[in-house]
Amino acid sequence: MEVIDQLAPERSKSQFDVDAMKIVWAGSQHAFDISDRMARLVASDPAFRKDYRVTLGRKELFKNTLRKAAHAWKRIIELRLTEEEASKLRTFVDEPAFTDLHWGMFVPAIKGQGTEEQQQKWLPLAYKMQIIGCYAQTELGHGSNVQGLETTATFDPATDEFVIHSPTLTSSKWWPGGLGKVSTHAVVYARLITDGKDYGVHGFIVQLRSLDDHSALPGITVGDIGMKFGNGAYNTMDNGVLHFDHVRIPREQMLMRVSQVTREGKFKQSDVPRQLLYGTMVYVRQTIVADASSALSRAVCIATRYSCVRRQFGSQDGGPETQVIDYKTQQSRLFPLLATAYAYRFVGEWLNWLYTDVTQRLQANDFSTLPEAHACTAGLKSLTTSFTADGIEECRKLCGGHGYLCSSGLPELFAVYVPACTYEGDNTVLLLQVARFLMKTVSQLGSDKKPVGTTSYMGRIEHLMQCRCDVQRAEDWSKPGVILEVFEARAARMNVACAQNVSKMPNPEEGFSELSSDLVEAAVAHCQLIVVSKFMEKLQQDIAGKGVKEQLQLLCSIYALSLVHKHQGDFLSTGTITAKQASLVNAQLRSFNAQLRPNAVALVDAFNYTDHYLGSVLGRYDGNVYPKLYEEAWKDPLNDSVVPDGYHEYIYPMLKQQLRTARL
Q: Under 8 Å CB-to-CB from 150, ≥6 apart: which residues?
A: 139, 141, 142, 166, 167, 168, 170, 171, 191
Q: Which stretch binds ligand FAD (CB under 6 A): 24-32, 130-138, 542-550, 622-630?
A: 130-138
Range 373-412, binding ligand FAD (CB under 6 A): 398, 400-402, 404
CA-CA-CA-CA torsion for 198, 257, 279, 415, nearest 10 degrees? -60
Partner that binds at residue 456, options ligand FAD, Ca ion, a copy of itself, none, CB closer than 5 to 8 Å by kind = none
CA dist., res. 506 & res. 352, Å (int): 42
Instruction: Please identify which residue in 21, 254, 324, 458 interacts with ligand FAD, judged by CB under 6 A.
Output: 324
* Ramachandran assignment for 309, one of left (phi > 0), alpha (psi -120 to 50 degrees), beta (any other): alpha
Does residue 424 have an active-site annotation?
Answer: yes
Check binding of 172 to ligand FAD (CB under 6 A): no
The Cα 47–Cα 244 span in angstroms is: 38
CB contact at 8 A, 241 and 227: no
| Span from 14-22, 129-137, 287-295, 462-470 in contact with a copy of itself (CB under 8 A) | 129-137
The yes or no reply on residue 4 touching a copy of itself (CB under 8 A) is no
Least CB distance from residue 324 to ligand FAD, whole Å? 4
Site residue total, a copy of itself (CB under 8 A)? 148
Q: How far is the CB of 326 from ligand FAD (least distance, A)?
A: 9
* Three-point CA angle 248, 251, 255, nearest 5°: 110
Nearer to a copy of itself (CB atom), residue 37 or residue 590: 590
Near a copy of itself in 315-354, by CB under 8 A:
315, 321, 327-330, 332-333
Within residues 454-473, the interface with Ca ion by CB under 5 A covers 470
- Is 138 a known ligand-binding residue? yes
Q: What Cα–Cα distance (Å) separates residue 443 from each residue in 184, 439, 515? A: 49, 6, 16
Handedness of CA 439, 445, 447, 453 (dihedral sign): positive
- Please, which of residues 192-251 interact with a copy of itself by CB under 8 A? 211, 213-216, 222-231, 234-235, 238, 241
Q: State which residue, 313 or 634, has the beta carbon closest to ligand FAD.
A: 313
Chain positions 78 to 117 lying near ligand FAD, rule: CB under 6 A, are 101
* Contact of residue 579 among ligand FAD, a copy of itself, Ca ion, none (CB under 5-8 Å per partner type): a copy of itself
Residues in a beta bridge with 134: 186
Q: Nearest-CA neighbor of 134 among 62, 220, 235, 242?
A: 242
- Can you name the residues that pair with 205 across neighbouring β-strands? 187
- What span, in angstroms and rounded, lies between the C-alpha atoms of 126 and 548? 43
- Determine contact, residues 118/256, Cβ cutoff 8 Å: yes
Q: Which of 143, 180, 411, 615 binds ligand FAD (CB under 6 A)?
A: 143
Q: Closer to ligand FAD at the Cβ: 114 or 419? A: 419
- Helix 276-309 and helix 410-417, axial crossing angle in degrees, nearest 10: 160
Q: From residue 46 to residue 85, what is the string marking binding to ligand FAD with x (rule CB under 6 A)?
A: ----------------------------------------
Per the residue annotation, which of 10, 95, 161, 424 is the catalytic one?
424
Nearer to a copy of itself, 78 or 317 (CB): 78
Residues 177, 104: contact at Cβ < 8 Å? Answer: no
- Neighbouring-strand partners of residue 479: none
Is 459 labelled a binding residue? no
Which one, of 581, 588, 531, 553, lies nearest residue 480 by Cα? 553
Does 231 contact ligand FAD by CB under 6 A?
Answer: no
DSSP 638: G
Catalytic residues: 424
Return binding residues: 138, 177
For the annotated binding site for FAD, the residues are: 138, 177
Binding site for Ca ion (CB under 5 A): 470
Q: Give the binding site for ligand FAD (CB under 6 A).
A: 101, 135-138, 143-144, 175-177, 234, 239, 310, 312-313, 324, 327, 329-330, 398, 400-402, 404, 419, 422-423, 426, 428-429, 432
